[in-house]
Structure 1
Amino acid sequence: MLITLDLRQIRYFIALFEEGSITRAAERLHVVQPAVSMQIRKLEAEYGLTLFDRTSQGVLPNEIARDFYKICLRVMEDVETAHHFLVGANGRVMGDIAVGVPPTLSLGTMARIVRRYCERFPEVKLRILEGYSSSIVSWLESGEIDIGVLTNEYSETKLFSRPLIEEELFAVAAKNHPKIRASSINGREFAALDVILPSEPNLLRRLIDTSFAEAGVTLKPVLEIDSLATVLELVRNGYATLLPGHAIADLLDRFDLQALPVAEPVIKRKLIACYNSQKLLSKAAEAFIDTLREDLSQYGKAADDTAAPEPLA
């Protein structure tokens, strides 16, 4: 069977589906309106079906069109992947990538990483989205982002992971906190402070709760707050919290804070870069993971990346 469906018809169909108007679709495609109408009519005639209902308000996709739209999006994604593969084969790093990062990474460290990456790879268009683990995983599964930074506590079989660093959590408090006089703190001493933690089921909160419970220390936060900026403002005014080194390294002086190692329990976690196992990582995405690992290695033990990517399980 001769397949006559081509990429132009798919692009025109996607534009009309999303715009709901031949006029707007033509403007988006930078073509005249009859060109859009002709390609859609040709597509419908070739397969003997109707994709859109024509009304005075525009065009409305039917059920067949809605299912076909999902297929077309995957086709265009694969075409883009093929394009980036061929471009990368000659050594050039270019294209578009989207990265999802947690708030602890975005507030302090991410600006420096982005600057370094964009200086090295000026032909890449980079987009950064901030969110918690559940949002990042959802974005990865839907194709909204190419890379997501997560911790190894997350279990998701549809994602592949690459290690970044193993890092330690520090007790963070104001430099002049009246109850802190040493350069380190144990779990019981920390639990006696006015502690702020993220709300459940946050993965960082889960790790903290489990670690303190295993050490036989009762930790009851006086506040549960999921905004890192708000937490830091409160911490500079007498509260305390637990954060990874990369989250506060660039913020201690700005907020007049101190970071103390915690003993009994010592809390460590691994940061990982994740991506959808159904997608081929572009050269641009590979380069971003390398830049992440290079920068974050100053805050913890560099993770071994000699093994092949592994599924999260």
Structure 2
Amino acid sequence: MAHTVTHTQEAGSLVDLPRLRRFLMVAEMGSLTRAAVMLDSTQSALSLQMGALERECGGRLFHRTGRGVTLTELGERLLPRARSLVRDADQLQQDMRSAAGIPHGDVVLGILPSTALTLVPHLLRKIAKHYPNIRLRVLEGSNGQIDEWLAQGRLDIALLYRYGRSKAPNEEALTEMDSWLVGKRGDALTRNPTVPFIRLDRLPLVLPNLPNGLRVTLDQQARRKNITLAIAVEVDSIPIQKELAIQGFGYGVLALHAVQRELEAGALQASRIVSPGIDRYVTLASTTRHPGTLAGRVVIKLLREAMSQNVLNPAMSAAKVA
């Protein structure tokens, strides 16, 4: 039998924001135990609260399994409404504070692993010093994941890589970066400052899986140059890509800031790919699923400033790069 969440219910007892927040946490974690830890509660107390919410909804919201919980059909229908109610309440609170000119509230940033290590500490320092009422929440993922989270409204803003300038109205290119061929210490090919693209012919490469934007761009250029890309290992994790390059399993193709520490330590070498170069744009995107906030606009301003200060492109000597 189908269950519905009525307008009367939504307007009445279901608008218990703390309870809805707990419901959203359980749905996100897929586990009462993990959600209780995140909420600084106990599993038994959280289970009682979810049971009360189920009685108000007139049906079960979760299937209990040996591995945790999953949403029922009723739970799936409640999920977007609960997100909307909680988001609207948060927005109202932020708007009230913003009316006094005080940036306040959560800002959810989606970011790539290769940029997070450098950029997130920089942002947090700026926010702690100048905007203590802003709480930055960070979700790390691949380009594809971040695009999906933006479309779902789970993010406020995001930093992405685009290979070619984006024409989306909610995106702006902040900076352009080269791509570098990364090899182990002592490697002859990456000892040079630059490497022509055709030298990638049949070179063992450690690259992310398709449909990653870098892979698509490399494949397109390889066809134009009539060369063959020999994929030694397909792995999406940048830390694993770097470790495999260090151990000599193959060459990575990465942005320079992603290997800054390894270059400085002498564990890796990097040579800029040229003729043609593989240009990547760091793009700032905003969700279209809900309005922006003053706090979000502040974080956007800080991100623009960070790019203008070249935070992701630290100056490094030629000896460290090659």
Contact 1:172 1:240 in 2 (8 A): yes
2:107 corresponds to 1:97? yes
Task: Give the aligned partner of residue 191 of structure 1.
Answer: 201
- Write out per-residue CA displacement over residues 96-151 of structure 1, whole angstroms, 9 at most, x where no aligned residue: 12111112212444333333333332221121111112221222222322122223
Number of aligned residue pairs: 269
Contact 2:207 2:234 in 1 (8 A): yes
- Write out per-residue CA displacement over residues 36-66 of structure 1, whole angstroms, 9 at most, x where no aligned residue: 9xx99xxx9xxxxx74259xxxxxx998887
Distance in 2 (CA, whole Å) between partners of 1:194 and 1:69 is 46
SS in 1 for 2:270: strand
Matched residue type, 1:52: G
Distance in 2 (CA, whole Å) between partners of 1:229 and 1:62 is 37
Matched residue type, 1:277: T
SS in 1 for 2:289: coil
Distance in 2 (CA, whole Å) between partners of 1:190 and 1:98 is 38
Residue among 40, 52, 57 paired with 2:58: 52
Distance in 2 (CA, whole Å) between partners of 1:197 and 1:63 is 39
SS in 2 for 1:242: strand
Would the alpha carbon gap of residues 84 and 128 (structure 1) be closer, same or farther in structure 2, given more than 3 Å must change? same
Equivalent residues in 2 for 1:139-288, closer than 5 Å: 139-152=149-162, 160-191=170-201, 193-238=203-248, 239-254=250-265, 256-288=267-299
SS in 1 for 2:106: strand
Contact 1:159 1:277 in 2 (8 A): no
The answer to which of 261-270 and 67-76 deviates more is 67-76
Contact 1:100 1:147 in 2 (8 A): yes
> TM-score when scaled to structure 2?
0.69
Contact 2:103 2:131 in 1 (8 A): yes
Task: Give the aligned partner of residue 71 of structure 1.
Answer: 81
- Unaligned runs of 5+ residues in structure 1 are 29-35, 45-49, 55-60, 301-313
Task: Give the aligned partner of residue 64 of structure 2.
Answer: none
After superposing on structure 2, the runs of 4+ consecutive aligned residues of structure 1 that deviate more than 6 Å are 3-8, 61-66, 154-159
Would the alpha carbon gap of residues 259 and 117 (structure 1) be closer, same or farther in structure 2, given more than 3 Å must change? farther
- Unaligned runs of 5+ residues in structure 2 are 1-6, 27-35, 42-48, 61-70, 314-322
Task: Give the aligned partner of residue 98 of structure 2.
Answer: 88
Distance in 1 (CA, whole Å) between partners of 2:294 and 2:149 is 20
Q: CA RMSD in A?
A: 3.8
- Write out per-residue CA displacement over residues 73-101 of structure 1, whole angstroms, 9 at most, x where no aligned residue: 31331232232233223221220121111
2:307 corresponds to 1:292? no
| Offset, 1:67 | 4.5
Task: Give the aligned partner of residue 19 of structure 2.
Answer: 15
